[in-house]
Amino acid sequence: MAGTRFSYVKNFELPDPMLPDTYLVVRIDGHGFHKFADAHEFTKPNDEPALELMDTAARAVMDEFKDVVLAFGESDEFSFLLRKSCSLYSRRQSKILSTITSYFTSVYVMQWATFFPNKPLKYPPSFDGRIILYPTAQHVRDYFAWRQADTHINNLYNTVFWALVQQGGESTTQAHETLKGSVSSGKNELLFSRFGINYSTLPARFRKGSVLVRQLVEEPDKRPKKKVVVLHSDVIENEFWDTRPEILSS
């Protein structure tokens, strides 16, 4: 189809290859999910089916895109690590980003009814996406540690905040005021002394987020197969990485 007088317009499409031999992190985040969560009456502070739906969409991304070696999710976001030798779509930025983002979104919508059989989707959700390039394994570890530390800080705050409102009878304004300037230990203490909640016994999904890796799974009468598993492990300490050297080595 070369050579009509219109085809020069193709020259305006610029190549957007990403640096070779560099880790790629794709992070997608729900657009306006504050409103989306309200519209669909998500439980506060954590809606388990909503988080499981996010995990399901992320797992589908990993099944579809074999270059993804690790994923981490919390709230309305998911981060996907693509191995540094990834040559998917010749490492074209917009192609990788738009395909992963739209695939995730499609699965989220397709699987919605599985997790919310009695709650029809009121309007189409969308996700924004970005790609960050990291030159070293340490950067990648620090990136995932950053997201998991964020999960912890937000979840601790939200857990106390909603306990004050839902069980303590405070208004949201009062709860904000109560928590102003408080540190982690103070929030833990307040949770325990006023509401009898021991933070460390809350579900790991809420405290740690979701960590998706490929792992050999044993099945009866079959050879062990590599499958995507959802964990809620710590990714800040060394153990997670030391026991899975393949994540950062390829």
Give least dist CB 101 to ligand DGT, A: 13
DSSP assignment of 68-83: EEEEEEETTEEEEEEP
Token pair listed for 24: 């790629």
DSSP assignment of 103-117: HHHHHHHHHHHHH-T
Q: Which is nearer to Mg ion, 89 or 192 (CB)?
A: 89
Site string for Mg ion, 36-75 (x = CB under 5 A): ---------------------------------------x
Phi-psi region of 3 (alpha: psi -120 to 50; beta: other; left: phi over 0): left
122 binds ligand DGT (CB under 6 A): no
Q: Which of residues 9-28 bind ligand DGT (CB under 6 A)?
A: none
Query: Residue 130's CB: how many other CB atoms inside 10 A?
Result: 13
30 binds Mg ion (CB under 5 A): yes
Binding residue (CB under 6 A) for ligand DGT from 23, 26, 46, 165: 46
Edge-to-edge strands, sheet with 127-134: 127-134, 23-30, 77-82, 68-74, 210-217, 225-231
Binding residue (CB under 5 A) for Mg ion from 26, 42, 62, 77: 77
34 binds ligand DGT (CB under 6 A): yes
Give least dist CB 74 to Mg ion, A: 8
Tell me how many degrees the CA angle 59-208-100 measures, rounded to the nearest 5.
30
Instruction: Using CB under 5 A, list all residues that contact Mg ion.
Output: 29-30, 33, 75-77
Using CB under 6 A, list all residues that contact ligand DGT: 29-34, 37, 42-44, 46-47, 50-51, 75-76
